[in-house]
């Protein structure tokens, strides 16, 4: 089978265009993959995910917080979870960042109990674009 030069050029151009599109979509997904939690007293929190960078995610999380959220945690291509003690929301709490949501949820709950929580429950969780 003989392939014309024009047909070969069209195929090569198609493969090049496809590579650029797929490479660009990966860049967009990885670029919009930053998130943050702002954690405060008495169960106060703010969260943000799928931001272009950590600074934007932190600012959005702090703005969303309905209290004094002095503790911040960031995530990039990961998941975060925040747990509080429902018997005393102003007491023990825990948070975690991990590559898998199940690990984040388990670790945040475990930390809440480690810090003296009696009935720890997940208050918030989020995953960014790649988590």
12: in domain: no
The Cα 15–Cα 19 span in angstroms is: 6
76: in domain: yes
More confident residue, 56 or 11: 56
Q: Mean pLDDT throughout 121-125? A: 95
81: in domain: yes
In this predicted structure, the answer to whether residue 29 has a pLDDT above a threshold of 60 is no
Least Cα distance to 121 among 90, 69, 81 occurs for 81
Q: Around Cβ 55, how many Cβ atoms within 10 Å? A: 12
In this predicted structure, the answer to whether residue 89 has a pLDDT above a threshold of 70 is yes
20: in domain: no
Domain ranges, residue 75: 31-127
The Cα 51–Cα 9 span in angstroms is: 39
pLDDT at 33: 75
The single-letter DSSP state of residue 88 is: -
Q: How many domains does the chain have?
A: 1
Q: Which residues contact 12 (CB under 8 A, 6 or more apart)?
A: none
pLDDT at 106: 97
pLDDT at 27: 41
46: in domain: yes
The single-letter DSSP state of residue 129 is: T
Percent of the chain beyond pLDDT 90?
63
pLDDT at 28: 42
101: in domain: yes
Q: Mean pLDDT throughout 11-29? A: 48
Band of pLDDT at residue 30, cut at 50, 70 and 90: very low
4: in domain: no
The model's pLDDT over 33-49, given as tens digits with 9 standing for 90+, comes to 799 999 999 999 999 98
Band of pLDDT at residue 2, cut at 50, 70 and 90: low
């Amino acid at each position: 089978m003989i392939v014309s030069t024009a047909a070969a050029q069209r195929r090569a151009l198609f493969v090049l265009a496809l590579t650029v599109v797929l490479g660009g979509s990966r860049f967009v997904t990885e670029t919009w993959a930053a998130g943050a939690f702002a954690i405060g007293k008495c169960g106060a929190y703010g969260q943000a995910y799928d931001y272009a960078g950590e600074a934007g995610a932190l600012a959005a999380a702090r703005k969303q917080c309905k209290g004094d959220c002095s503790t911040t945690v960031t995530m990039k291509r990961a998941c975060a979870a925040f747990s509080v003690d429902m018997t005393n929301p102003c007491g023990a709490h825990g948070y975690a960042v991990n590559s898998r949501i199940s690990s984040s949820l388990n670790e945040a709950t475990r930390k809440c109990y480690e810090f003296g929580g009696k009935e720890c429950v997940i208050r918030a969780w989020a995953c960014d674009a790649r988590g």
